[in-house]
Amino acid sequence: MKYVGADLHEHSITICVMVKVRGKRKVEARRSLMCQDTEAIREFWNTGSAKKAIIAE
């Protein structure tokens, strides 16, 4: 199972993707990006690490 967490701040967002391997969680990908860098955010989502997310504030 894959878990995606996003920590949104005024100027930056940190995204962490974790997977469950043999009952243990492992970090698959982690990125901190500037909110205005929409191309980098889009590129990260399109890599396959994080295809779906629920973001709540």
Tens place of pLDDT for every residue, the chain, 57 residues? Answer: 788 888 889 999 998 888 888 989 999 999 999 999 999 988 888 876 655 655 555
Q: Is residue 41 part of a domain?
A: yes
On whether residue 17 sits in a domain, the answer given is yes
10 domain-assigned: yes
Structure tokens, 42: 């889009």
The total number of structural domains in the chain stands at 1
52 within some domain: no
Q: Is 21 among the domain residues?
A: yes
* C-alpha span between 52 and 48 (Å, rounded): 9
Give the structural domain span for 8.
Answer: 2-46
- Report pTM: 0.70
Contact 13, 28 (CB under 8 A): no
